[in-house]
Amino acid sequence: MKSKAVRHRQIKRPLLAQNLWYLRQCRGLTHKEVAALYLERSAYSRYEEGEARPPYETLLRLAELYGTTVQALLTEDLSAHTSKTQI
């Protein structure tokens, strides 16, 4: 049986969606836990699935939560150069 990480990467999603999923997994958070901080759980799920793009204010809050920048969330593959110990 394939891991959640492998299954998630097999489905091509926008870079932002991939980064949000990766960072949440590294932190050991659920959709519900992230959403409780900033937005509705269903909205966050749509961002991670690439079905919707968060407003800029939400991007700012998520970048702060994950200790990164909006630019990095949008333009860098954070899983390629970030280990779980760094996050």
Q: Please report the pLDDT score of residue 87 as a whole number.
A: 47
Give the integer Cα–Cα distance in Å for 60 and 43.
Answer: 16
Which pLDDT tens digit goes with each residue over 47-69?
Answer: 999 999 999 999 999 999 999 99
**pLDDT higher at 30 or 5:** 30
Q: Do residues 54 and 15 make contact, with C-beta atoms less than 8 angstroms apart?
A: no
Which pLDDT tens digit goes with each residue over 7-57?
Answer: 555 567 999 999 999 999 999 999 889 988 778 888 999 999 999 999 999
Q: Please report the pLDDT score of residue 10 as a whole number.
A: 55
User: CATH classification of 4-81 is 1.10.760.10, yes or no?
Assistant: no
Break the chain into its structural domains and give their ranges: 4-81
**pLDDT higher at 2 or 59:** 59
